[in-house]
Amino acid sequence: MFVTSGRANTISMTTMLDIDIQTRDWPAQMETILGELKQLRESNALLKKRQTEIEAELSLAARVQQSLAPRSLVWNDVSVETHYSPAHTIGGDFGIVFPHNNMQFGLSTTTLINRTP
């Protein structure tokens, strides 16, 4: 027997295979187990499909984040070098340096957090 919880795609086994082949209803027990196995296979296929979708979304998010990362620049006699390395697939801290005038520059820092459900 399998029970699904309130959350989508969460299945837990509540009983182990316990078939007494000396009883008359063992074929029905086997049919139940085969039905549950089919349900598990279908759920597994859905989970694999969703995992593939999530990986594609993370890949796109990583490319977008990388495109927004600051670039190295030279301003008057100051050279500002940058380095991009996300904490995981996406996320992490970065800062942007931009010239304000001939004597001043601005600095902005940001923290990107990966908040996946």
The amino acid present at 31, given as its one-letter code, is E
Q: Is 90 exposed, middle or buried (0-12, 13-18, 19+ CB in 10 A)?
A: buried
pLDDT surpassing 70 at residue 41: yes
Q: How many helices (H) and strands (E) does the chain have?
A: 1, 6
pLDDT surpassing 90 at residue 51: yes
Mean pLDDT of 32-55: 93
pLDDT band at 44 (very low <50, low <70, confident <90, very high): very high
Which carries the bigger pLDDT value, residue 73 or residue 61? 61
pLDDT surpassing 50 at residue 4: no
CB 9 within 8 A of CB 47: yes
Residue that is written with structure tokens 């063992």 in the block: 26
In the chain, where the domains are located: 1-68, 71-117
For the entire predicted model, the pTM comes to 0.55
